[in-house]
Amino acid sequence: MRIDKFLKVSRLVKRRPIAKEMADQGRIKVNDRVVKSSYEVKVGDIIEVGYGAKLVKAKVNEIRETTKKAEASELYELVE
């Protein structure tokens, strides 16, 4: 699954176009490498998303095409 879609499905980013734009601006890293929106996410990847001064780090636990809002947080775990 593409990183922009994963970020939307997991609710780490509200909308896919915003996730794509963030990736194109270099604000998304996977395993300490800046990635484009077409990057294929794998289980175990560590995703870093930069929201201005705030940085969110999450480890991918599961990949699903769709998910309910209540279950979205099961797709990842936040890491320090």
Q: What is the 3-state secondary structure (H, E, C) of 44-76?
A: CCEEEEEECCEEEEEEECCCCCCCCHHHHHHHE
> How do residues 35-51 score in pLDDT, each as one tens digit?
999 999 999 999 999 98
Instruction: Output the pTM of the full model.
Output: 0.91
Average pLDDT over residues 3-31: 95
Q: Quick one: residue 58, left, alpha or beta (phi over 0 = left, psi -120 to 50 = alpha)? A: beta
Fold of 3-78: 3.10.290
